[in-house]
A and B are shown apart, each in its own frame.
Chain A
Amino acid sequence: DAGVIQSPRHEVTEMGQEVTLRCKPISGHDYLFWYRQTMMRGLELLIYFNNNVPIDDSGMPEDRFSAKMPNASFSTLKIQPSEPRDSAVYFCASLREWSTDTQYFGPGTRLTVL
């Protein structure tokens, strides 16, 4: 398997623009997680899905952030409008089944908002 795939790997945008990050989980994994990593706050869980349904979005910082999972092989994290403080590395991770397995992380998307 190719592992968790994220795109783009790097994104530079200007404040106020819409940003869409994409994730393809490992085939057969039932859970998908979105994390944000910054120097100040470390790794923070934003939202996670089980079988394409959002289960916990309490980590989503503001209404400007939204996530969708239209099918088992694709998820998006959208920021609209983007702000400089959203600059971070965003990771997607997937998990086969929660009781016995571990989360596998993608390579991340480095977002810079100017």
Chain B
Amino acid sequence: QQQVKQSPQSLIVQKGGISIINCAYENTAFDYFPWYQQFPGKGPALLIAIRPDVSEKKEGRFTISFNKSAKQFSLHIMDSQPGDSATYFCAASSGAGSYQLTFGKGTKLSVIP
């Protein structure tokens, strides 16, 4: 049973637009929610992460919004650039750390000029 559901599978956004990727989880024990960015031929790399004690975290153009009651979190990429074109994975883990991550299926983002 998939524990982290990610949508959409693919996303096309124009340069300068806002990219939004959503994830929903089922396990209420999850308490760490990272987003990973993966370029073709590379391994996933941590982009930004949030813990449920805050509802939003912003780092540059990237923002995570977290809704604990709905068990949902999302990634917003403001002023999307062609260089942001990659596959994005949400993930979740329980316990105090980031080990044993459960990943979403990924969203392939294409930012067109």
Binding site for B on A (CB under 8 A): 4, 31, 33, 42-45, 48, 56, 91, 93, 95, 97-108
Binding site for A on B (CB under 8 A): 34, 36, 41-46, 49, 89, 95-106
Main SS of chain B's interface residues? loop
> Hey, which chain A residues are within 8 Å of B96, CB to CB?
98-99
Smallest Cβ distance from A30 to chain B, in angstroms? 10
In the assembly, what is the distance between CA of A10 and CA of B46, in Å? 24
Identify 7 new A-B residue pairs, CB closer than 8 A, beyond the known A4-B43, A101-B97, A107-B42. A42-B103, A42-B104, A42-B106, A99-B97, A100-B97, A102-B34, A106-B43
Contact A43 B89 (CB under 8 A): yes
If A102-B34, A102-B49 touch, whether A43 touches B44 (CB-CB below 8 Å) is yes
Smallest Cβ distance from B27 to chain A, in angstroms? 15
Of the residues A42, A43, A45, A101, contact of B100 by C-beta under 8 Å: A45
Contact B99 A105 (CB under 8 A): no
In the assembly, what is the distance between CA of A111 and CA of B100, in Å? 23
Of the residues A4, A95, A107, A108, contact of B99 by C-beta under 8 Å: A95
> Hey, which chain B residues are within 8 Å of A103, CB to CB?
46, 98-99, 101
Closest chain A residue to B42, Cβ basis: A107
In the assembly, what is the distance between CA of A104 and CA of B49, in Å? 14
Contact A107 B44 (CB under 8 A): no
Task: Pick the most buried of B89, B95, B98: most chain A CB atoms within 10 A of its CB.
Answer: B98
